[in-house]
């Protein structure tokens, strides 16, 4: 691994995350203040606080990202599309939605493709970035590859490893599998359990373009400490 990034370059990989059900306005202000200070790519939040975070980040290039069908993915396609549309109308710059894992387990690939196509089409029309959350901890390698094949056809902006709310998060093995399966057609985001600089750099070395983490500040500070 031979990655030479400045703290500013590393920060641009991060979707700085606050998805807890009990988050307060003070938590969102802290999240946005940190994103502004460090120059993170995005704040990752649930749809309800999109308006608040959009206001808090006004005048910055930090995106506001809304999680849709989160964290279980057990909503209808119409519900996910409505939720994404509502978030976009409220100012969301990016949408991270969770696939319907039941439909994937039942090999209803047409359903999965329509779900992905409908959400991605909405985002594309609104010039909003789309990310498809796999939740790999519940999937076989065959299921992950099937999702990657669908993504290669539909072309969301990103495929993503995890919600961070499942039984496991991002693994090096999953990222390698996803990257190998989609190549350069779709970018890969790693999320869930990324808490150290070493892990972040290994993921970047494997080809991820974004990292979702609640530990973004600590990871960037860890790099700063190594440089000094």
Catalytic residue among 96, 100, 157, 174: 96
Q: Report d(CA 91, CA 80) in Å as an integer.
A: 17
Evaluate if residue 1 carries a pLDDT over 70.
Answer: no
Catalytic residue among 15, 160, 174, 179: 160
Evaluate if residue 228 carries a pLDDT over 90.
Answer: no
Catalytic residue among 80, 131, 144, 189: 189
Residue 46: which residues within 8 A CB-CB, separation 6 or more?
Answer: 19, 66, 67, 70
Q: What pLDDT digit, counting tens, does each position of 141-193 carry?
A: 999 999 999 999 999 999 999 999 999 999 999 999 999 999 999 999 999 99
Give the CATH number of domain 7-227. Answer: 3.20.20.70
pTM of the model: 0.96
160 part of the active site:
yes
Taking all residues of the chain, what is their mean pLDDT, rounded to a whole number? 97
96 part of the active site:
yes
Q: What pLDDT digit, counting tens, does each position of 117-146 carry?
A: 999 999 999 999 999 999 999 999 999 999
Q: What pLDDT digit, counting tens, does each position of 73-88 carry?
A: 999 999 999 999 999 9
Q: What residues does each domain of the chain span? A: 7-227
């Amino acid at each position: 691994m031979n990655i030479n990034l400045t703290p500013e370059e590393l920060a641009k990989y991060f979707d700085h995350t606050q998805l807890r059900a009990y988050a307060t306005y003070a938590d969102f202000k802290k999240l946005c203040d940190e994103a502004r200070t460090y120059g993170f790519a995005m704040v990752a939040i649930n749809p309800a606080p999109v308006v608040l975070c959009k206001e808090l980040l006004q005048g910055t290039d930090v995106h506001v990202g809304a999680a849709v069908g989160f964290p279980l993915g057990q909503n209808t396609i119409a519900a996910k599309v409505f939720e994404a549309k509502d978030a976009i109308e409220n100012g969301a710059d990016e949408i991270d939605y969770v696939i319907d894992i039941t439909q994937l387990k039942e090999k209803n690939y047409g359903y999965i493709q329509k779900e992905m196509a409908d959400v991605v089409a909405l985002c594309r029309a609104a010039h909003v970035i789309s990310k498809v959350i796999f939740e790999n901890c519940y999937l076989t390698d065959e299921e992950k590859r099937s999702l990657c094949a669908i993504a290669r056809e539909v072309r969301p902006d990103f495929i993503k490893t995890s919600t961070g709310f499942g039984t496991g998060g991002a693994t090096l093995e999953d990222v390698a599998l996803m990257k190998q399966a989609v190549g350069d057609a779709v970018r890969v985001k790693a999320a869930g359990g990324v808490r150290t600089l070493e892990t972040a750099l290994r993921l970047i070395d494997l080809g991820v373009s974004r990292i979702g983490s609640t530990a973004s500040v600590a990871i960037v500070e860890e790099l700063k400490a190594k440089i000094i």
